[in-house]
Amino acid sequence: MKKTYHIAVIPGDGIGPEVINEGVKVLKKVAELDGRFEFKFAYFPWGCEYYSKHGKMMDDDGIEQLKNFDAIYLGAVGYPGVPDHISLWDLLLKIRKSFDQYVNLRPITCLSEDVCPLKHVKKEDIDMLIIRENSEGEYAGAGDWLFKDKKEEVVLQTGVFSRKGTERIIRYAFETARKAGKALTSVSKGNALNYSMVFWDQIFAEVGREYPDVETYSYLVDAASMFMVQQPKRFEIVVTSNLFGDILTDLGAALTGGLGLAAGANINPERKYPSMFEPVHGSAPDISGQGKANPLASIWSASQMLDFFGFEEHSKRLIKIIEKLLKETECLTPDMGGNALTGDVGDFFVNILES
């Protein structure tokens, strides 16, 4: 009997539906050719357009509706007319927090020197996994706006670092590094952030004592940004806070082909709740509706989903096809210097999978 995976698809805004279509196309083909499993996709029309009609980004019981799916596949959120903090907090961050997706996995792997702006490094030198804390830190939503519109106006945005939250992400990173036989680098800022990041560094050292077999490094985030450009080979597995991870992974995307290639997974490791797979990029309103968005990040995120379900071979196969596509170049979307359409890229995958 075939195993069925139930996937909640939230195409979202702008180019979200365009890139998600290609990911779904590829996932369907992988399952069809494998034969042991199938996907059933249920679509949810949530996002900024939904907000403009209903005054909310998702149904009131949206989290309840998503609860029993095996995974969530999300396109992009945000569109002019809806303030970005509303679209982010009322959909993307709401799902991450409600389902305790405290691990954000963003691979920074260069698959072709042609798409890397660094001429002094080889593609093999850029191959890291950034593990971003995804539930608290600077994105805890804690703060206040005092004396609004007065001369004394003060705004506070508090980073929240609980022992539980900090320990579990660092432990997850050590486990990942141990399993992969790779070095683990912690990125923080203990010299300036004299509470949160001193605490982070302390917990990194504490947990690290349980993993004497894992080689560790610690960098300040400013130095880490510089090293990522100058000597990316230094990094294998990286663990960092929510904000630093968000920023460093965009930097990483720039080194490996741009946001069109940057994939992300929001994981609830205990599998108590669904995990969510999404391209790192936003909704790119300037190019939406033109059929020229790059779906590779969305397809790469689909490959992370396959890996999460235990289909490592299929996951690796998709990455190999991305590598082939970048090498052969006839199927590149305009952001990568080609003329291919979004649908052509999905078709490229289907043709290779079938061959």
Candidates 75-83, 116-124, 141-149, 334-342: pick the segment binding ligand GGG (CB under 6 A).
Answer: 75-83
Q: How many CB atoms lie within 10 A of CB 2?
A: 10
The residue whose two tokens read 């990942």 is 176
Rounded to a whole number of angstroms, the minimum distance from the CB of residue 294 to ligand GGG is 13
280-309: contacts with ligand GGG (CB under 6 A): 281-283
Tokens, residue 148: 């609004």
Report the C-alpha gap between 178 and 51 in whole angstroms: 44
Sign of CA dihedral 26, 27, 31, 32: negative
Report the C-alpha gap between 203 and 171 in whole angstroms: 10
Q: Pick the closer one to ligand GGG by CB: 20 or 126.
A: 20
- Distance from chain centroid for Cα 317: 19
235-264: contacts with ligand GGG (CB under 6 A): 246
Rounded to a whole number of angstroms, the minimum distance from the CB of residue 45 to ligand GGG is 16
Of the residues 8, 20, 24, 76, which one makes contact with ligand GGG according to CB under 6 A:
76
The residue whose two tokens read 């209903």 is 54
262-281: contacts with ligand GGG (CB under 6 A): 278-279, 281
Q: Is 71 helix (H, G, I), strand (E, B) or coil?
A: strand
Rounded to a whole number of angstroms, the minimum distance from the CB of residue 148 to ligand GGG is 25
Rounded to a whole number of angstroms, the minimum distance from the CB of residue 246 to ligand GGG is 5
- Enumerate residues 6+ apart whose C-beta is below 8 A from 269: 102, 103, 172
Amino acid at 328: E
The residue whose two tokens read 């691979």 is 107
Q: Is 293 helix (H, G, I), strand (E, B) or coil?
A: coil
Candidates 74-82, 112-120, 180-188, 334-342: pick the segment binding ligand GGG (CB under 6 A).
Answer: 74-82
Residue count at the site for ligand GGG (CB under 6 A)? Answer: 12
Report the C-alpha gap between 41 and 71 in whole angstroms: 10
Q: Pick the closer one to ligand GGG by CB: 216 or 245.
A: 245
Candidates 76-84, 205-213, 316-324, 335-343: pick the segment binding ligand GGG (CB under 6 A).
Answer: 76-84
DSSP class of 330: T
* 136 binding ligand GGG? (CB under 6 A): no
Of the residues 27, 31, 77, 306, which one makes contact with ligand GGG according to CB under 6 A:
77
Candidates 73-81, 107-115, 166-174, 307-315: pick the segment binding ligand GGG (CB under 6 A).
Answer: 73-81
Rounded to a whole number of angstroms, the minimum distance from the CB of residue 301 to ligand GGG is 8
- Distance from chain centroid for Cα 313: 21
Strand partners, 73: 9, 277
- Enumerate residues 6+ apart whose C-beta is below 8 A from 207: 167, 170, 171, 174
Rounded to a whole number of angstroms, the minimum distance from the CB of residue 76 to ligand GGG is 4
Rounded to a whole number of angstroms, the minimum distance from the CB of residue 305 to ligand GGG is 14
Q: Pick the closer one to ligand GGG by CB: 106 or 123.
A: 106
Q: Is 94 helix (H, G, I), strand (E, B) or coil?
A: helix
Rounded to a whole number of angstroms, the minimum distance from the CB of residue 106 to ligand GGG is 9
Q: How many CB atoms lie within 10 A of CB 75?
A: 28
The phi, psi pair for 338, rounded to 5°, reads: -110, -165
Q: Pick the closer one to ligand GGG by CB: 274 or 279.
A: 279
Rounded to a whole number of angstroms, the minimum distance from the CB of residue 39 to ligand GGG is 20
Q: Which residue is nearest to ligand GGG (CB)?
A: 76
Candidates 3-11, 30-38, 70-78, 207-215: pick the segment binding ligand GGG (CB under 6 A).
Answer: 70-78
265 contacts 297 by C-beta, under 8 angstroms? no
Contact residues for ligand GGG, defined by CB under 6 A: 74, 76-78, 88, 92, 246, 278-279, 281-283
